[in-house]
Amino acid sequence: MENGTRSELLGRLAAAVGSVANAHPTRVAVDGPPAAGKTTLADELALVLRAQGRDVIRATIEDFLTPRSQRYRRGEDSAEGCYHDSFDFDAMHKALLDPLGPGGDRRFRQAVYDKVTDTPRSEPIVTAPADAVLLFDGVFLMRPELIDRWDLRIFVSAPFENTLDRARTRDQTPSRSATEVERRYRSRYIPSQQFYFDTVRPTDQADIVVHNDDPHHPAWEAQPH
């Protein structure tokens, strides 16, 4: 286990990305529970890599959600539905992960769905350089449907009570109280993550685990495989 500053963590992660030798773009998963800090970390890492001259593709699992009618078919508070019904893995493979992988033509789309309008997105097809880096953040990225698509696997860890505290602030809106945010997390998001931890053991699958309990003073460890 290493401890250090945020800058030291980002340097360590950038070095890990740079150590991946591929003939195709490097596909990096940034996994973790909701509000663990994975999107922020991926955004910060993108800045570091771009400063090093890398072409970075930023994408998120939120742009590969299934339509609301499918996503909530077991109910909006269903933890089982959160895990099993939320994401379009076929679209992720076809539009993004496989084109950037071995034998792919590097012609990709980084989003297929608009959560706000609950409609498909018509993203243009873009061709990635062979040495590009895909930084893909989201939940459940180590599950069997995705695990073999990543060239580097990062898991951002934080206790559920910490993530809940962050979510109360982050997800609160004029129409959604902190109490409602907490109720939703305790009924849907936290139980679905617990199921994921129990069945998939994502920290065992990761190459690097980032302990993000205190984002200003993170700790990290490389996992032997």
| pLDDT above 90: residue 102 | yes
3-state secondary structure at position 27: strand
CB distance 57 to 128 below 8 Å: yes
d(CA 36, CA 46): 18
**CA proximity to 31, closest of 170, 155, 125:** 155
d(CA 136, CA 201): 19
What is the enclosing helix (H) or strand (E) of 219?
strand 219-222
CATH number of 2-213: 3.40.50.300
Tokens for 14? 């950038």
3-state secondary structure at position 112: coil
CB atoms inside a 10 Å sphere around CB 91: 19
**pLDDT of amino acid 160:** 81
pLDDT band at 45 (very low <50, low <70, confident <90, very high): very high
**pLDDT of amino acid 164:** 79
Domain boundaries defined on the chain: 2-213
**Mean pLDDT for the stretch of residues 146-164:** 92
Mean pLDDT of the chain: 94
What pTM was computed for the model? Answer: 0.94
**Mean pLDDT for the stretch of residues 104-124:** 96
The residue type of 12 is R
